[in-house]
Structure 1
Amino acid sequence: MTLHATDPYSAIVDDLAYSYDGVFSRESVAGAVADARHLLEPVSTVQTFLPILVARHAKEQLTAAAQAEGRVAKAVPELLFVCVQNAGRSQMAAALAEHLSAHRVHVRSAGSAPAGSINPLVVEVLAERGIALTTAYPKPLSDNVIGAADVIITMGCGDACPIFPGKRYEDWNVADPAGRPIEVVRDIRDDIQARVTALLRDILN
């Protein structure tokens, strides 16, 4: 790994260019890092952690692009959960799917208009199920993550999610936890958990 004492983003480009050698050019990798930084810098509350988030988001987008373009194989089914802000419903669905599937699926979530942070009550009610959202953050919907998905679940985002051929789409009528008391957020969590359990049973059996 190349060290860049004053420019962590150059180091991120170096690392990802090495990881995706033969899949994407260095220029494409640098573009993904720049896009991630442009997206996350205005909403990051702790600038110290920004390079970590940028690296994670750029890697996620590059992986999704490689899968969507058929450059890398999918080891397991790819699920995408989408709501408006990616701060509540889609975060709960993604976290529950990852937890309940024992990593037999790969899960992403996104929002048509992402919020600046995850609803703290969502974090709390998932913690009650033993699920920590320590590394999650609201992310925008992109063609790459849609293209990489096998199954796309939308919740309250209307026509914001483009329709790609060959994908399985479902729209779940799930209440929005924004501004609701914790008792209601727990009910929403349980509703989503039941739906996720049924979805996983259908996909994996």
Structure 2
Amino acid sequence: MTDPRKPSVLFVCVHNAGRSQMAAAFLTHLSRGAVEVRSAGSAPADAVNPAVVEAMAEAGIDISAQRPKVLTPEAVQSSDVVITMGCGDACPVFPGKRYLDWKLDDPAGQGVDAVRPIRDDIRQRVRGLLTELGIQARA
């Protein structure tokens, strides 16, 4: 059940194996639990990209236990903000939701050197989102 006092954010990308996993992990970490966080994919992969897991570990966040999840209409309906990252036409749209589209490179098939700048871009965007939501980010 969604906590009515907490904003809820859903991050969506195609495979839910890279960008959306990093964004969800950063939002969870930086908000210290002040935001309900979800992530999903329109065509989820079997596992999170190993280069993404490594890049996030370098940032002090362990996402090795995360698994890609399928995007459902219920996940969208129960979120206040839906942030898409290249999920194309597969993302359902519901009235009254705030939608943002973050244009980010896809880390699929990339090594950790290519993932780091994507990770850092996502971290900055998440910090900006927290500011917009009126939530103090962890230092």
Give percent identity, aligned residues only.
56
Alpha-carbon distance in 1 for matches of 2:5, 2:15: 29
* Residue 102 of structure 1: how far off its partner (Å): 1.0
Q: Which residue of 2 aligns with 1:96?
A: 26
Alpha-carbon distance in 2 for matches of 1:80, 1:151: 6
Q: Which residue of 1 aligns with 2:89?
A: 159
Residues 5-16 of structure 1 aligned to structure 2 (within 5 Å): none
Residues 62-141 of structure 1 aligned to structure 2 (within 5 Å): 63=1, 67=2, 73-141=3-71
Could you tell me which amino acid in structure 1 is paired with residue 50 of structure 2?
A: P
TM-score by length of 1: 0.64
Structure label with greater radius of gyration: 1
* Residue 199 of structure 1: how far off its partner (Å): 0.7
Unaligned runs of 5+ in 2: none
How many residue pairs were aligned?
A: 135
* Matched position secondary structure for 1:159: helix
Structure with bigger helix share is 1
Q: Which residue of 1 aligns with 2:103?
A: 173
Q: 1:202 aligns with which of 110, 123, 132?
A: 132
Alpha-carbon distance in 1 for matches of 2:11, 2:42: 11
| Aligned structure 1 segments of 4 or more residues deviating by more than 3 angstroms | none
TM-score by length of 2: 0.93
Alpha-carbon distance in 1 for matches of 2:63, 2:83: 20
Unaligned runs of 5+ in 1: 1-62, 68-72
